[in-house]
Amino acid sequence: MSKAVIDALRARFPDAVNDAYEGVGGDDVAFVRKENVAEVCRFLKDDPALRFDLAPYVTAVDYLGVEPRFEVVYNLFSTVHNHRVRLRVKVPEEDAVVPTITGVWRGANWFERYCWDMYGIRFEGHPDHRRLFMYEEFVGHPLRKDYPLRGRQPLVAERDVPDLYRGPGPAGRD
């Protein structure tokens, strides 16, 4: 793929883009500093030469043993220009907070919830910051490398089912 995307990124955000390389199979990859993720994404979406309009695929990786521990990966695609770019954002364990990009693409909402649920990475500014897959009382973040595959959870009392149908009503009910 062309290097145009990386060059444009580097020109616009010289301090936010740490490193860029061409990965396996011709993917363009850039490391972005986590504080600047939201504005980089806004630029990538709005700039007419880049126009990454499709909501990206956001995932996270746990590199246990390496500092910084986590990495949030954004895979962007442009339907207009048919090019792709991957942004890798290193996130340390002590400060696992990344600005949200739900303001840029609404479709990133659930992906960020997945990263919170599975890895414990917070996204500040996220409108609905709760677990996606696991139940609320779940302890821990399953996809972290130090969570065992067959991890057992503490027993949780069965939740009281609120009477959704009738709703809150006169005294004596709910």
Partner 1 sequence: MDAERKQAAPVTAQEPRAPDDLDAPFPAKRMLVNLGPSHPAMHGTTRAVVELDGETIAAMKLDIGFLHRGFEKSCESVTWNQCFPYTDRLNYVSAIMNNVGFALAVEKLCKIDVPDRAKYLRVVGSEMHRMCDHFTLVGALGLELGAMTVLLYAMEARDLLWDRLTELCGARLTSSYCRIGGVARDLPEGWSEKTARTLDRCAVLRDEIDALLTRNRIFVDRTRDVGVVNREDALDLGFTGPCLRASGEPYDVRKSAPYLVYDRVEFDVPVGAHGDNFDRYLMRIEEMRQSERILRQCLAQMEPGDIAIRDFRYVLPPKPQVYGTIEGLMAHFKIIMEGIKVPAGEAYSYTEAANGELGFYVVSDGGGRPYKLGIRAPGWPMVAGLPHMVVGSLLADLIPTFDTINMIGGEVEQ
Partner 2 sequence: MASEMDLVPGITTRREEAQNALQKMVSKGLGWARKYSLFQYPFVTACCGMEFMSLAASRYDLDRFGAALPRFSPRQADLLIVVGTVNCKQAPILKRVHEQMADPKWVVAFGVCASSGGFYDNYATVQGIDRVVPVDVYIPGCPPRPEQVLDGIILLQKKIQGQPHKLIDRLPPALPGQG
Which one of 21, 127, 153, 162 is in contact with partner 2 (CB under 8 A)?
A: 153
Which one of 4, 8, 73, 97 is in contact with partner 1 (CB under 8 A)?
A: 73
Task: Provide, rounded to whole angstroms, the least separation between the CB of residue 88 and partner 1.
Answer: 9
Which one of 23, 125, 127, 151 is in contact with partner 2 (CB under 8 A)?
A: 151
CA separation for the pair 23, 25 (Å, rounded): 6
User: Helices 4-12 and 37-46 meet at what angle, rounded to 10?
Assistant: 130
Q: Does 59 interact with partner 1 (rule: CB under 8 A)?
A: yes
Non-local (6+) Cβ contacts of 124 within 8 A are: 97, 98, 99, 100
Q: In this structure, are residues 121 and 70 in contact, taking their beta carbons and an 8 Å threshold? A: yes
In the complex with partner 1, the residue whose CB is nearer, 63 or 95, is: 63
Q: Does 166 interact with partner 1 (rule: CB under 8 A)?
A: yes
In the complex with partner 2, the residue whose CB is nearer, 154 or 170, is: 154
| Segments in the chain forming alpha helices (H) | 4-12, 37-46, 109-119
125 binds, among partner 1, partner 2, none (CB under 5 to 8 A by kind): none
For residue 100, with 0-12 CB atoms within 10 Å meaning exposed, 13-18 middle and 19 or more buried, which class applies? buried
In the complex with partner 2, the residue whose CB is nearer, 31 or 138, is: 138
* Closest to 85 in 3D by CA, of 48, 61, 57, 60: 57
| Bridging pattern class, strands 17-22 and 28-32 | antiparallel
Interface with partner 2 (CB under 8 A): 133-135, 142, 147-153, 158-159, 161
Residues that bind partner 1 (CB under 8 A): 23-25, 27, 53-57, 59, 61-62, 73, 75, 77, 79, 82, 84, 86, 105-111, 118, 131-135, 142-143, 147, 149, 164-172
